[in-house]
Amino acid sequence: MRRRPLAAFALGAATVAGFAPFGIFILPFLTLAWLLRAWRDAAPARAALLGYAWGLGFFLAGVSWVYVSLKVFGGMPMPLAALATLLFCALLAVFPAAAGYGFARLRSGAAGRDALLAAGLWALAEWLRGWVLTGFPWLILGYSQSPPSPLAGFAPVLGVYGIGLLVALAAALLATGTRRELLPIAAFAGVGFVLHGIAWTQPVGAPLTVALLQGDIPQGLKWDPQRATLSLETYAALAHGHAADLTVLPETAVPLFFDETPRELLADLTEHGPALIGVAVRMRQDGMVGGYTNGAVAVSRRGAADFDVQAYAKRHLVPFGEYAPPGFSWFFRLASIPMSDFTAGPPRQAPLAVAGQKIAPNICYEDLFGEELIRALPAATLLVNMSNTAWFGDSLAQPQHLQIARMRAMETGRPMLRATNTGMTAAIAPDGGVAAVLAPFSTGALVVETQGYAGATPFVRYGNTAAVMLALAACLPALLRRKIARSADSLIL
């Protein structure tokens, strides 16, 4: 019994192999089944401890790249960077701990009812992690079920949290140890397979070619004023050498404010057609400059030296990376993070009309928040992610982020195009398949032909509502039983 927390920690860490780049999608079912079985005979405090140990191992193994960004690129002293990473993972581990505590308090001993309860509480804990304190929905269990997992077919209907609910329910059924529980698991797989074959959206408009540029600019040089020309010349050369209907640059590819960007560079980038450029944009109100945004600016030629400009401002900023939460301004005195005082854009922004498409940009980890992305749908025909994951070095962050983008494509029934500084630059089909990808840490352009899509999946219409309602419904039998038991006790007394 004393070794169970260590086993939970190890199994939580092993679960990371269920996600990209390893992709052993069956593994989370098994490791979570062990945890849920351990909860069945544990007191509430013990169940919380086991959930916490599992979660701590899971997050320390899965998001260890946070240390890289703080120490290597943020300049934070090693002990403080290690402590900050540990505290961050320790905070995230509270969510599986809370699910364990709730399960131990509400379980009834009936296998089916307890399986539903465990799955519902797990899914609700993941959903809460996605928005509490601005949210960090990285490594949500459903991401492990990208194709070829048959559960990927549920993405357009239930979204990533709904898939996580199904994984947790299958794990809870496995934890009962009876063969009859394998039937519903097989049913999940069969239904997912059928759903994956449904075309929820339809092609619209003419196909277009897109050049996704990857400059591979070292993070240590990116914001050095003496090296600014490195970025400008790299992206100008890539755009010039790869003709396309639309050229897309990564997040903050131009290390200047947009109003400082040389007109010659804009001309080079739009030589073959419009360009979508990652660049900081100053905000102006009443003629005065008031802050700046992390922007995606669409530039189209109107004449030899005139340009039409549309802009998107990043809505969901990264705490401690793009702004300091109240009371944490001291953090930036320990870490050297340039351009770390952005202003968030408005929650709802119209798609950008570019190259005959209606493009909904999202910047960096905004694509973690599927319910925020669908605000631009069904109007938008194409999703474009612009990222700079150079902050995390050669780590799990890049393949994990690509897997997240695949889920957004499936949820929305739209292609997702990714232009990144160091990887992984890719074109993703509406069914979540990776059509093409550039090697990470290489300089190049990925030229792909893509197609806009119209229509709305169930997820686009209802967001996470269906998943949350199902999770609550899964908990309902246990809650009703507890209420009935309390009523009976009061009558006896």
**In whole angstroms, how far apart are CA 401 and each of 46, 236, 282, 378, 451?**
34, 26, 28, 24, 23
**In whole angstroms, how far apart are CA 418 and each of 36, 51, 205?**
37, 35, 21
78 upstream amide cis, omega within 30 of 0: no
With b for 16 or more beta-carbon neighbours within 10 A and e for fewer, the 50-85 pattern comes to bbbbbbbbbbbbbbbbbbbbbbbbbebeeeebeebb
- In angstroms, the CA 435 to CA 467 distance is 29
Q: Is 364 a residue of the active site?
A: yes
- In angstroms, the CA 230 to CA 228 distance is 5
Task: Tell me if 340 sits within 8 A of 332, measured CB to CB.
Answer: yes
For residue 40, how far is the Cα from the chain centroid? 32
- In angstroms, the CA 43 to CA 4 distance is 13
Q: Is 271 a residue of the active site?
A: no
Angle at 18 between CA 465 and CA 161, to 5 degrees: 5
What sign results for the dihedral spanned by CA atoms 477, 480, 486, 489? negative
Task: Tell me if 52 sits within 8 A of 96, measured CB to CB.
Answer: yes
> Which helix or strand (DSSP H or E) is residue 432 part of?
none
Which one-letter amino acid corresponds to residue 243?
Answer: A
Residue in 364, 366, 411, 475 annotated catalytic: 364
With b for 16 or more beta-carbon neighbours within 10 A and e for fewer, the 281-320 pattern comes to beeeeeeeeeebbbbbbbbbbeeeeebeebbbbbbbbbeb
Q: Which two tokens stand for residue 440?
A: 């990470």
Q: Is 366 a residue of the active site?
A: no
- In angstroms, the CA 278 to CA 359 distance is 14
> Residue 44 class from Cβ within 10 Å (0-12 exposed, 13-18 middle, 19+ buried)?
middle
Q: Which two tokens stand for residue 442?
A: 């290489």
DSSP label at 69? I
Residue in 71, 181, 222, 314 annotated catalytic: 314
Active-site amino acid positions: 251, 314, 364
